[in-house]
Amino acid sequence: QKEVEQDPGPLSVPEGAIVSLNCTYSNSAFQYFMWYRQYSRKGPELLMYTYSSGNKEDGRFTAQVDKSSKYISLFIRDSQPSDSATYLCAMRDYGQNFVFGPGTRLSVLP
């Protein structure tokens, strides 16, 4: 079983749609959770960071963590064409081991 799995696969939505991106993980030692946005041929950019179960909101973005189910989500409201990118989940244990999901490529169509 892969340590971090991410779904859905490549996703295309119309502008204004609500987008839901999800990751599941197997290692219960993971305590810190991040979402990154990566534009083509650029470095991943940190979008959201959280370390507790529950929701965290920042503008149009909401990160949700359910540690009991080992499941995290990123919701994007009122999606814009500029949101078109690859979204990576990442997580860390109490050490310095950051593990990344494979990414979901999102296309928001005008």
Query: Which parts of this chain interact with other proteins (CB under 8 A)?
Result: 32, 34, 36, 41-46, 49, 51, 88, 90, 92, 96-103
CB-wise, 78 or 97, nearer to other proteins? Answer: 97
Q: What tokens appear for 73 in the block?
A: 């989500």
Measured at the alpha carbon of residue 76, what is the angle toward residues 49 and 30, in degrees to the nearest 5? 30
**Minimum CB–partner distance for residue 15 and other proteins (Å):** 25
CB-wise, 31 or 69, nearer to other proteins? Answer: 31
Cβ 94 vs Cβ 29: under 8 Å: yes
* Sequence-separated (6 or more) residues with CB below 8 Å from residue 85: 37, 38, 39, 40, 105, 106
**Minimum CB–partner distance for residue 93 and other proteins (Å):** 12
Measured at the alpha carbon of residue 81, what is the angle toward residues 24 and 53, in degrees to the nearest 5? 25
**Minimum CB–partner distance for residue 12 and other proteins (Å):** 17
CB-wise, 13 or 99, nearer to other proteins? Answer: 99
Q: What tokens appear for 78 in the block?
A: 């009122």
**Minimum CB–partner distance for residue 36 and other proteins (Å):** 8
